Amino acid sequence: MADTLEVRFPKVAKLLLDAEDEVLAYMVFPARHSRQIQSTNPLERLHKELKRRAHVVGIFPNRASVLRLMGAVLMEQNDEWATGRRHFSAESMAEIGRREVNASIATAAN
């Protein structure tokens, strides 16, 4: 894809090539995770909650108050995600860890 963009958009092509590992990071996950990885529903729900909370306040007196409220909402959501229902089981996440270790060993051996 970067080759296709190189002619018209060289900066974009370079950006894609530089970020290749990050762009393809999803491929490390097992196939059974693909549905959760492709879905943006949790992120959309989070944005909707942030918007709802900001709308309740209306006008914020300063930047610090916005950061305080949004930070509190994000911390609350982080706690919920950490202790609540998990999208990925511990076993499937351990499988990813094993793959990464095996890849590191193979790279070091070469």
Residue from 83, 53, 78, 87 nearest 68 by CA: 53
- 46 and 34, same structural domain? no
- 62 and 24, same structural domain? no
| Domain total in the chain | 2
- 5 and 33, same structural domain? yes
- 52 and 21, same structural domain? no
pLDDT value for 94: 76
pLDDT value for 47: 93
- 110 and 67, same structural domain? yes
Query: Half-sphere exposure of residue 8, counting CA atoms within 13 Å on the CB side?
Result: 3
- 6 and 57, same structural domain? no
Range of the domain at 11: 1-38
Compute mean pLDDT per 10 residues along the chain, 110 residues long, and list them.
84 90 82 78 90 90 93 90 70 72 64
pTM score, whole prediction:
0.53
- 98 and 46, same structural domain? yes
